Amino acid sequence: MTHKDHVELVRDGVLTSGGVWADLGSGTGAFTLALRDVAGADVTIYSIDKDETALEYQKKAFDQQFPGTNITFITADFTKPLYLPPLNGIIMANSLHFVQDKAPLLKRVRDYLKEDGRFIVVEYNTDTGNWWVPYPLSFQTFQELAVQSGFTKPQLLKTVPSHFLKEIYAAITLRNSARRRCRHAKSSTPQF
C-alpha cells in the first residue's frame, strides 16, 4: 500500500485538524505519517512502538516529509500501561492482531481517551490468524469487543483488498462517555 492508501483508510475517522493523538504499535510509521497528513501541522502525536530501529526509521521519514511536526517517539510495549496525556484520538493499525487477550488492552486504550475520543482500528477482516498475523479480528468481532470494552458501536470506514489475508478494514469508534453519565439511558448510534 502507498501513503495515499493509508491516508484514505483513516481520513474519515480523523475528521478534524490538530488535537493530541497516539499511534500504538506504530512500526515504521506508515499510518503515523497518514495521521499527520490528515490532522495537519497543529496535531501533536505520540508514536509508540517497542522496536527502536523502526522508530528511528520513522523519525527520518518525518524529517523528510513533515519536518517540524510535534511528535514524540516512545520506545515501549503498548500492551503495558503508558503515561500519556488525555488523547483526542488513537490509531492502532496492524498492531491489535499481535495481542491475544484484547479486552484488557481495549479498556486501557479507552481510558487514554478524552470523552468522545476517537479510536481508529485498521486490521485484517478475519478471525483466522497465521504466523505473521497471529490474532486478527474481523470487523464483526471488533464491533462486539469494542462495545464490551466501553466504546460506541464501531462504524466501518473503508475496506481494501489484501493479497495477504483477503481484506483490510478501517473502523472508528468513540469512547462511550454516555455510558458513564447515565447507565440506564438508551444509547443511540453516534453520527460519524
DSSP states of 96-115: GGG-S-HHHHHHHHHHHEEE
Asked if pLDDT for residue 91 goes beyond 80, the answer is yes
Residue identified by cell 479510536 is 119
pTM (2 d.p.): 0.89
**Which grid cell is 83?**
503515561
Full set of structural domains in the chain with CATH: 3-181 (3.40.50.150)
Q: How far is C-alpha 178 from the geometric centre of its chain's CA atoms?
A: 21
Q: For position 62, what pLDDT does the model report?
A: 97
Average pLDDT, whole number, for the chain?
89
DSSP states of 17-46: S--EEEEET-TT-HHHHHHHHHH-TT-EEE
